[in-house]
Homo-oligomer: A and B are copies of this chain.
């Protein structure tokens, strides 16, 4: 247990705490995703589309925190698996809208339900004050980050 004690730079560094929390908090649920034969990026796409079907590839990529060319290929694979279909946008032919198939929607909804349950378990493991604060703090951080930003 008594690893090299931790008053180190890394253990208190905000970007480390964020990366590690994200990684570890997601690990269990990501295992669940993979157990369903999906990869994590595919799950992210499904979750986005449940919220808002027929998104463009570009927006899907932004929301799923990944590059456009990667998203293109992920959509390829999901299309091949019958989870989504590509639909041309009538107004703008450059755009590709990604739409859930019935299978895709069913899977997505079931996974969202699992995700909610898993999240509830995570939050219930925290003290009430922490559980109440965590999302707010993260949202605030995201807000700050989305603003133009003045300094380097």
Contacts and interface: CB of A to CB of B under 8 A. Distances in A.
A136 to B, nearest CB: 8
Contact of A133 (B10, B16, B22, B133): B133
B115 A20 contact: no
Contact of A145 (B25, B140, B146): B25
A106 interface: no
14 contacts: A8-B51, A10-B47, A10-B48, A13-B119, A14-B119, A15-B115, A18-B21, A20-B65, A20-B138, A25-B141, A25-B145, A121-B151, A130-B136, A134-B137
A130 B140 contact: yes
A15 B4 contact: no
A137 to B, nearest CB: 5
A144 to B, nearest CB: 5
Contacts of A138: 14, 17-18, 20-21
Chain B CB count within 10 A is highest, among A8, A13, A137, for A137
Contacts of A93: none
A94 interface: no
Nearest to A5: B52
Interface of A: 4, 8-26, 28-29, 47-48, 50-52, 63, 65, 112, 115-116, 119, 121-123, 125-127, 130, 133-142, 144-146, 149, 151
Given A4-B52, A15-B26, A18-B21, 12 more contacts: A8-B51, A9-B50, A10-B47, A14-B119, A15-B29, A15-B119, A20-B138, A24-B146, A121-B151, A126-B144, A130-B136, A134-B141
